[in-house]
């Protein structure tokens, strides 16, 4: 019961750090509708925010064995609260707003990385990450539904005040995160962060995570455009996207029961196969039900695979340096995917995007399999 309580607390803290990502499409809509920012500028603010998170995750990966995760998360979420609060009142001043979003990204990125590291120190980590991903998909679905409904009431300042309040709530909860790393300064020099990060299994694992996220963000960027091209109504496209998000909930929650009893290679192979199948269904769809089915398969795949990927990285180093590096590279991969897909989609070539995403998923699976075999052949990294 104590372990479940820890999983739940860490999941709440981690989900708070991800709120700007979980409600991103609706948040961009509020910025465009309620401020002077264009769609391009609003999108750029999101990229700058994610850049802040990626930078701090890289730096933390090099220091994870020395960090007090409780203190890091608390200070970082207070910083994020200040950045969010400022963002709500300077959104029409582009340079200042972009600076505030970068600072907020550093704060939430540091707290998110600390939370991933905290999960890595627990037993049965796959189940813990499964609870975390389940909560993410649940909150994302609710947020994407509620924010457009209440955006006119909240406005930009109200939205960011809510985010700042959540940040401060997360800062209070961070007192339940672990303190200094398990081994402290007494650990052998060869087992430090650099040793872990340069291990073959770690490199393959974090590379696979980056490619996996690139594949998913590449296809996710254009699935809405495919629905428009197929002449579906806005309500139909919105319904399909909502259902796909909700289907991710049982996808992740199933791992709470499965854990690592089947290992990680077999579940990842199954999950990625479902995702590729969904992409091929989309390529062949010209009616609404196949379109929604394809999106649902992709949503299930994404949510089902994430806990196993994070569990794989956590198993490489129980102090969290590998999973911290994975947080950074997956953010970079996620930011890269849409850009590469944009080069492929010219002239409405959505099938080309989906084939490209399928190929990336296969490469990611190959990296995960190689990482697992490498880890077993070496008897683990740390």
Residues 156 and 215 both lie in one domain: no
Helix/strand/coil for 199: coil
Mean pLDDT of the chain: 86
- Whether pLDDT at 338 is above 90: no
Residues 92 and 182 both lie in one domain: yes
The span from the CA of 132 to the CA of 92, in Å, is: 34
- Residue 345 pLDDT grade (very low, low, confident, very high; cuts 50, 70, 90): confident
What proportion of the chain, given as a percentage, has pLDDT over 70?
95
Residues 23 and 84 both lie in one domain: yes
Residues 248 and 156 both lie in one domain: no
Confidence at residue 157, expressed as pLDDT on a 0 to 100 scale: 94
Residues 167 and 200 both lie in one domain: no
Residues 29 and 102 both lie in one domain: yes
The span from the CA of 145 to the CA of 157, in Å, is: 19
Where does residue 3 fall: left (phi above 0), alpha (psi -120 to 50 degrees), or beta otherwise?
Answer: alpha
Confidence at residue 205, expressed as pLDDT on a 0 to 100 scale: 92
CATH of the domain at 21: 1.20.1250.20
pTM of the model: 0.81
Choosing from 146, 171, 186, the residue where a domain stops is: 186
Identify the H or E element spanning 184. none
The pLDDT tens digits of the residues spanning 123-164 come to 888 888 889 988 988 888 788 778 877 888 889 999 999 999
Confidence at residue 146, expressed as pLDDT on a 0 to 100 scale: 80
Residues 119 and 23 both lie in one domain: yes
Closest CA to 84 of 113, 110, 105, 70: 105
Residues 172 and 244 both lie in one domain: no
Q: Based on the structure, what is the number of domains in the chain?
A: 2
The span from the CA of 322 to the CA of 314, in Å, is: 7
Residues 125 and 247 both lie in one domain: no
Residues 317 and 347 both lie in one domain: yes
The pLDDT tens digits of the residues spanning 33-85 come to 889 988 778 878 888 888 898 899 888 988 887 889 999 999 999 999 999 99
Domain hosting residue 74, numbered range: 2-186
- Whether pLDDT at 225 is above 80: no
Residues 238 and 157 both lie in one domain: no
What's the gap between Cα 88 and its chain centre?
Answer: 24
Residues 32 and 143 both lie in one domain: yes
């Amino acid at each position: 019961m104590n372990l479940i309580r820890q999983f739940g607390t860490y999941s709440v803290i981690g989900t708070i750090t991800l709120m700007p990502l979980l409600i991103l499409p609706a948040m961009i809509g509020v910025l465009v509708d309620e401020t002077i920012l264009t769609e391009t500028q609003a999108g750029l603010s999101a990229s700058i925010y994610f850049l802040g998170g990626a930078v701090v995750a890289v730096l933390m990966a090099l220091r994870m064995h020395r960090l007090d995760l409780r203190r890091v998360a608390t200070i970082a979420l207070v910083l994020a609260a200040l950045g969010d609060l400022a963002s709500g009142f300077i959104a029409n001043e582009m340079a200042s707003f972009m600076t505030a979003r970068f600072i907020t990204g550093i704060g939430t990125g540091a707290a998110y990385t600390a939370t991933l590291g905290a999960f890595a120190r627990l037993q049965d980590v796959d189940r813990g990450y499964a609870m975390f991903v389940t909560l993410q998909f649940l909150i994302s679905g609710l947020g994407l539904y509620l924010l457009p409904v209440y955006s006119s009431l909240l406005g930009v300042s109200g939205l960011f005040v809510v985010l700042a309040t959540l940040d401060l709530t997360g800062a209070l909860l961070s007192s339940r995160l672990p303190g200094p790393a398990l081994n402290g300064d007494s650990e052998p020099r060869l087992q430090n962060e650099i040793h872990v990060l340069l291990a073959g299994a770690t490199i393959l694992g974090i590379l696979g995570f980056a490619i996996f996220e690139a594949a998913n963000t590449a296809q996710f960027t254009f699935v809405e455009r495919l629905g428009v091209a197929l002449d579906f109504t806005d309500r139909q496209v919105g319904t399909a996207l909502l259902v796909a998000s909700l289907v991710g909930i049982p996808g992740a929650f199933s791992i709470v029961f499965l854990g690592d009893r089947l290992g990680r290679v077999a579940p990842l192979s199954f999950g990625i196969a479902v995702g590729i199948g969904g992409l091929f269904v989309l390529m062949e769809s010209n009616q609404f039900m196949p379109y929604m089915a394809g999106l649902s398969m992709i949503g299930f795949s994404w949510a089902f695979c994430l806990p196993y990927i994070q569990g794989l990285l956590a198993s490489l180093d129980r102090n969290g340096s590998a999973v911290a590096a994975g947080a950074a590279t997956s953010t970079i991969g996620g930011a890269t995917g849409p850009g590469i897909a944009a080069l492929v989609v010219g002239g409405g070539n959505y099938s080309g995007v989906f084939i490209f995403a399928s190929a990336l998923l296969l490469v990611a699976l190959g990296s995960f399999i190689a990482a697992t075999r490498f880890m077993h052949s070496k008897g683990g990294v740390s």
